[in-house]
Amino acid sequence: MRRYERDVTYVNIADMTKDLAFSRFALSPFLDVDVIVHMETNRMDGNAVPLHCPREQADALIALCRQKWHRNHFRFYRNRKRI
């Protein structure tokens, strides 16, 4: 696990298994799978990987995801907070 970076959007690893098509085609081009960060210390599934894209593009991916899932079903993080 590597060090957490500020102002980077992270996506929860466990949640990416809920829709493999969305994860594969929308998120995977921007994932850095070599970096895993533990975002939620009180949860067993609190590991996340960063999205390496501009913030506007990350916000667009999150908005696209929110059309189908609630924030508790597909978790994104920025500055250690769930968005």
Residue type, 73: H
What are the pLDDT digits (tens) for 35-65?
888 888 888 888 999 998 999 999 999 999 9
- Per-domain boundaries in the chain: 9-82
Look up the pTM and report it. Answer: 0.84
Residues in the chain: 83
Tell me the C-alpha distance between 31 and 27, whole Å. 6
What are the pLDDT digits (tens) for 23-37?
999 999 999 878 888
Tell me the C-alpha distance between 9 and 35, whole Å. 13
